[in-house]
Amino acid sequence: MTDTSPPAPADAQISKIVVGSRNSQLALVQTNHVIGLMEKHYPEKSFDLVSMSTTGDKILDKALPKIGEKSLFTKELETALEAGDVQFVVHSLKDLPTTLPEGLVIGAVLEREDPRDALVMHKDLENNDLDSLPASSVIGTSSLRRKAQLLSKFPHLDVQSIRGNVNTRLRKLDEKNEFSAIILAVAGLNRMGWNPRITKVLHGSEMMYAVGQGALAVECVGDDLKTVQLLSVLHHRETALQVVAERSFLCSLGGGCSAPVGVVSEICNEGKTLVLEGGVWSLDGDQKLTKKLSCNLEKSSEEPPRKKSAPSQQTTFCGIVSPASDIEHYRAAFKLGQDLASALISEGASSIMEEARKANEPS
State the virtual CA torsion across 297, 301, 305, 311 in degrees, nearest 10.
Answer: 40
Q: Which residues are catalytic?
A: 95
Name, in order, each residue with C-beta under 8 angstroms of 214's C-beta and a sequence gap of 6 or more: 94, 112, 113, 114, 115, 116, 185, 186, 187
Helices (H), the chain: 25-41, 55-58, 64-67, 75-83, 144-153, 166-175, 186-191, 225-231, 237-253, 327-345, 349-359
The b/e string for 102-117 (b: 16+ C-beta within 10 A; e otherwise) is: eebbbbbbbebbbbbb
C-alpha to C-alpha distance for 211 and 306, rounded to whole angstroms? 31
DSSP per residue over 232-265, as a string? GGG--HHHHHHHHHHHHHHHHHT-STTS-EEEEE
- Please, what is the angle between helix 327-345 and helix 349-359, to 10°? 80
CA distance 345 to 350: 6
